Amino acid sequence: MYGTCRPKPLALSALLGAFVFIASLLVSNQALQAAGLEKASGQVILTIAGAVSKTNRPAFSEFEDGFLNYQEKSFEAAAEFDLAMLESLGMHKVKISLDAWSSDFTFEGPWLKDVLAAAGAEGRDIAIVALDGFASEISAEDIAAFDWLVGVKRDGRYLSIGQRGPLWVVYRRPDGKAPTAEDEQRWPWASFFIEVR
């Protein structure tokens, strides 16, 4: 009789319940790690969909995503970024001078390549979509050829809607040449959505 200790049925049941609870937490944690992107806590200013592996939001909802529906954008899952998430990717500055502009402007924000990496972009080409529906098609070769910046600030001030915000995507030419009007036409302002293909 001594040395034999059988758990009471209630104790065994509680032990199994605790095991199931811990297992479910581990599975949930693994799912979050698989998604690989924290949930946005602030106002979302950029959504990346398409060929991405790191997501933090569920599938497109025709009702909840009314503006995306208006833009005819849908997805099974996507990566959302608020301002703090974009800034946490590293802030860089690019000064741009164009004859058509009233002055030189200094843009500040993360590199586009870092934003795409944060979303686990697996495609080659992208389309950056502005609030008015304008889309700038950018090939993987062009992403590699220029220093693309996702501008959240211009001359130290955050870009707002109505003043070419929330995002203005620009690039610096690695050859040091001044940008042209053709370059400017490729810089989508009021950007809010990126589709990875």
- Residue 135, token pair as written in the block: 């889309």
Do 92 and 28 have their domain in common? no
Q: pLDDT exceeding 90 applies to what percent of the chain?
A: 69
Nearest to 74 by CA among 44, 40, 50, 46: 50
> Distance of alpha carbon 23 from its chain centroid, rounded?
31
Q: How many CB atoms lie within 10 A of CB 66?
A: 10
Do 110 and 156 have their domain in common? yes
Do 26 and 49 have their domain in common? no
* Residue 2 maps to a domain: no
Tokens 């009702």 map to which residue?
63
18-63 pLDDT, tens per residue?
444 444 444 344 344 445 799 999 999 999 999 999 999 999 999 9
Q: pLDDT exceeding 70 applies to what percent of the chain?
A: 82
Domain that holds residue 91: 44-196
Number of domains forming the structure of the chain: 2
In angstroms and rounded to an integer, the radius of gyration of the C-alpha atoms of the chain is 23
* Residue 22 maps to a domain: yes
Residue 196 β-bridge partners: 50, 126
pLDDT confidence band for 17 (50 / 70 / 90): very low
Nearest to 165 by CA among 176, 177, 155: 155
- More confident call, 18 vs 136: 136
* Residue 1 maps to a domain: no
pLDDT value at residue 35: 55
Tokens 């009789």 map to which residue?
1
Q: In what side-by-side order are the strands of the sheet with 153-154?
A: 92-96, 105-109, 153-154, 157-158
Nearest to 67 by CA among 45, 52, 91: 45
pLDDT value at residue 3: 52
Do 29 and 67 have their domain in common? no
* Residue 110 maps to a domain: yes
pLDDT value at residue 115: 98
> Residues 45, 166: contact at Cβ < 8 Å?
yes
Nearest to 138 by CA among 119, 123, 117: 123
Three-state DSSP string of 178-193: CCCHHHHCCCCEEEEE
Do 71 and 13 have their domain in common? no
CATH number for the domain harbouring residue 124:
3.90.420.10
- Residue 35, token pair as written in the block: 């998604």
80-126 pLDDT, tens per residue?
999 999 999 999 999 998 888 888 999 999 999 999 999 999 988 99
* Residue 191 maps to a domain: yes
